[in-house]
Chains A and B, each alone.
Chain A
């Protein structure tokens, strides 16, 4: 004991002598903005007259979305054959697009849940938009497997409702696990998003001038009163939902990867799939968050709330997850070589040098090489360049799913049943239309709901500290 206290006195003396530098934490909101400034900024977006750019973008997004719905109507009236799916490739763009969109959603949950548990306060200014992105991306994702079943009017067979022969879904299939995983993910993300938004909806309600506006936002805000007795339950519920969303988000892409990994197809039947899919999902999701947030930041002049610190953090996460994805590509090759399984070896050599080599090298360029530029501060500070790299990542991650899905099916065990898959115009229209569908939902979100979580941003600025003087 005496020894310990001597040591601590010595430490204190040394500390007094060297006077360690105080490391200032980076500000989350620049220019010392006040609480009222935050309210005005965020509510102003919802309260201003609809800007012209929004009307133009919304019209364009609606037109683009029409391609998806036109394509789906044509598919329903004709058959899934219009999608270019034929033996041996039964999982073409439909599954590629599904995995792509579900993966995009993952960054939203990562930001809102995992970063919340890790007390990363910088998440506050981007979490609302990222969660909205999650929900809308899952909406887009869900369309593909739903219509891929062919006779979409039997889509309810996926759910545990007995059909006319009294047959239930069978739960040994990863595809059925996926139904539960994705629908739970959608539901929980929506609950989390909405609950977090209630206090901000109350702010908009309290500022509403017209009767209609007041009525709608009052309904949505559930009569929230900002009392600390309410905040106490709210914060606990928010933390618990974050805690529940964390294993959920990891499980969703794990189960999506089971769709592949549980099968016996060379190139799919690997244990690396779950972590590799989750890392890829976060990678693509962060790229999509930046793709959306950088233009929004410029349009709404959110430079004080989404500042270089936020962009730096996101680009670094892209760099880290991109490197993990690159490492996973290398591991797959190593394990294929090490396995001694000729089919497995062939599957990987065929990916890199076979008939789909072009897709493989697009994937490697976009996913492994392009994020490496984020090592450089100058690149991270050049927002146009950040945006372009993020677009590359989005493209690369789509190609990753294409490479996984198509190369393994096109060239599996029997050379006599090999094939070459190419999409039809209906595939292409349906997929590109989902960007329109996504944009329609996202534009409605930024027009009518609080884009940034006001209450959360207010709680991280210096004035919110009760012990500050």
Chain B
């Protein structure tokens, strides 16, 4: 099953390697494999699944996503922008008396401040997600792996990356993945 001698597993000379990939058949298998890779101390690796698996972040030992900070920053920026906008336009640049309301207060334009807060927080979240995920990126070594197209359908894949200090040489990585029950172990060329 784990055909080490096939052409696909051996890097040719002067070839850059991204890592080693293998497939798992079920959610439970990949979940337990992830726990064991985490426990072995790997840092540069990832699990590729058609949907987010519940509890996988803990199984991989991932820290909490940093997105909420960007959201908060966006929200604060939005609120301040709303305050500056309403103050500058209605109180500073062209003061108008309307409806016996003050030139500026936090009360009368509150709906505007509220909407600006939400708008900027949403922008922060949206762009934060793409920035932290390093997207858009249309070329990636994984897109050249034939089995990878099935990952967005029903396949489960683990990739150990060469940049991890534990990687050593591909053979060691193959053996490790094989010991976890991984199948179709392939070399991912950079």
Chain B contacts of A233 at CB under 8 A? 65-67, 128-129, 132-133
A132 to B90, CA, bound (A): 36
Residues of chain B within 8 A of A224, CB atoms compared: 135
Do A168 and B89 have beta carbons less than 8 Å apart? Answer: yes
**Is there an interface contact between A223 and B135, defined as CB atoms closer than 8 Å?**
yes
Cβ of B52 and Cβ of A36 under 8 Å apart? no
Q: Nearest Cβ distance between residue B101 and chain A, in whole angstroms?
A: 5
**Contact A241/B115 with A223-B138, A228-B46 known, Cβ cut-off 8 Å:** no
Contacts of A181 in B (CB 8 A): 111, 115
Please tell me which one of the listed residues B28, B57, B118, B129 contacts residue A188 in the complex, with CB atoms under 8 A apart: B118
- Please tell me if the beta carbons of B71 and A229 are within 8 angstroms of each other in the complex: no
Which residues 441-469 of A sit at the B interface, judged by CB distance below 8 A?
454-456, 458-459, 463-469
B143 to chain A minimum Cβ distance, whole angstroms, is 8
Closest chain-A Cβ to B182's Cβ sits at a distance in Å of 16
B164 to chain A, nearest CB (A): 13
Contact check, B125 vs A466: say whether CB atoms are below 8 A apart: no
Interface residues of B in 58-114 (CB under 8 A from A): 59-60, 62, 64-68, 71, 85-86, 89-90, 93-94, 96, 98-99, 101, 108-109, 111-112, 114
Q: Name which of A68-76, A92-100, A200-208, A389-397 contacts chain B.
A: A200-208
| Given contact pairs A166-B93, A177-B112, A235-B52, A247 touches B118 in the complex (Cβ within 8 A) | yes
Q: What B residues does A248 contact at CB under 8 A?
A: 115, 118
Smallest beta-carbon distance A229→chain B, Å = 5
> A268 an interface residue at 8 Å Cβ cutoff?
no
Cβ contact within 8 Å between B96 and A170: yes
Which residues of A lie under 8 Å from residue B85 when comparing CB positions?
Answer: 160
Closest to B121 in A: A244
**Contact string, A61-94, partner B, CB cutoff 8 A, digits 1/0?**
0000000000000000000000000000000000
Q: Say yes or no for A236: interface residue by CB 8 A criterion.
A: yes
Whether A195 contacts B27 by the Cβ 8 Å rule is no
- Rounded to whole angstroms, the CA-CA distance of A222 and B129 in the bound complex is 12
- The answer, yes or no, to whether B167 is at the interface (CB within 8 Å) is no
A232-B62 contact, Cβ under 8 Å, with A466-B27, A466-B28? yes
Given known contacts A39-B153, A171-B112, A228 and B135 CB-to-CB distance under 8 angstroms? no
Does B47 touch A at the CB level, under 8 Å?
Answer: yes
Nearest-neighbor residue (CB-CB) of A178 within chain B: B111
- Expressed in whole angstroms, the Cα–Cα distance for A35 and B127 within the complex equals 30
Residues on the B chain within 8 Å of A241, using CB: 122, 125-126
Q: Which B-chain residue is minimally distant from A218 (CB atoms)?
A: B138
A275 to B51, CA, bound (A): 37
Q: Is the CB of A455 within 8 A of B138?
A: no
- The residue of chain A having its C-beta at the shortest distance from the C-beta of B55 within the complex is A466
Interface hits, B133-187 → A, CB 8 Å: 133, 135-140, 142-143, 148-154
Contact call A234/B133, Cβ cutoff below 8 A: yes
Q: Are A237 and B126 interface neighbours, CB within 8 A?
A: yes
The contact string, 1 if C-beta is below 8 Å from chain A, for chain B 26-45, is 11101110100000000000
Could you tell me if A240 and B68 are in contact, using CB atoms closer than 8 angstroms?
A: yes
Any A CB within 8 A of the CB of B123: yes
B64, B89, B152, most chain A CB atoms within 10 A: B152
Among A162, A184, A465, residue most surrounded by chain B Cβ atoms (within 10 Å): A184
Is the pair A240, B111 in contact by a Cβ cutoff of 8 Å?
no
Task: Write out the residue numbers on chain A whose beta carbons fall within 8 Å of the beta carbon of B148.
Answer: 206
Is A135's CB within 8 Å of the partner chain B? no
B111 touches A255 (CB 8 A): yes
Say yes or no for B54: interface residue by CB 8 A criterion: yes
Complex: chain B residue closest to A229, CB-CB: B46
Q: Does A191 contact B (CB under 8 A)?
A: yes
A122 contacts chain B at the CB level, 8 A cutoff? no
Measured between beta carbons, the chain A residues less than 8 angstroms from B138 are: 218, 223
**Chain B proximity of A265: nearest CB distance (Å):** 16
Q: Is the CB of B121 within 8 A of A251?
A: no
In the complex, the answer to whether A171 meets B108 with C-beta atoms within 8 Å is yes
Chain A residues within 8 Å of B86, by CB: 171
Question: Could you say which of B68, B125, B154 has the most chain A C-beta atoms within 10 Å of its C-beta?
Answer: B125
Task: Flag whether A187 is at the interface (Cβ < 8 A).
Answer: yes
- B89 shortest CB reach to chain A, Å: 4
Q: Is the CB of B154 within 8 A of A466?
A: no
Smallest beta-carbon distance B55→chain A, Å = 6
User: Any chain A CB within 8 A of the CB of B18?
Assistant: no
**Given the known A-B contacts A244-B125, A459-B52, are A232 and B111 also in contact in the complex, defined by CB atoms under 8 Å?**
no
Alpha-carbon distance between A192 and B122 when the two chains are bound, in angstroms: 9
Instruction: Take A171-B89, A171-B90 as given contacts and tell me if A240 and B71 are in contact as well, using a CB distance cutoff of 8 Å.
Output: yes
Residues of B within 8 Å of A455, CB to CB, are 50-52
A234→B52 contact, CB < 8 A = yes
Q: How far is the CA of A174 from the CA of B143 in the complex (A)?
A: 51
List A residues at the B interface (Cβ < 8 Å): 34-36, 39, 160, 162, 166-174, 176-177, 180-181, 184, 187-188, 191-192, 195, 199, 202-203, 205-207, 218, 222-237, 240-241, 244-245, 247-248, 251, 255, 258, 454-456, 458-459, 463-469
Known: A188-B122, A235-B52. 4 other contacts (CB 8 A): A227-B47, A228-B56, A454-B51, A458-B154
Closest 10 CB pairs of A and B: A466-B31, A168-B89, A237-B129, A35-B154, A236-B65, A177-B111, A231-B52, A222-B136, A203-B152, A459-B51
A-B contact pairs, 15 of them (CB 8 A): A39-B153, A180-B111, A191-B122, A195-B129, A199-B51, A203-B50, A203-B152, A207-B153, A228-B52, A228-B57, A231-B51, A244-B125, A454-B51, A459-B52, A459-B53
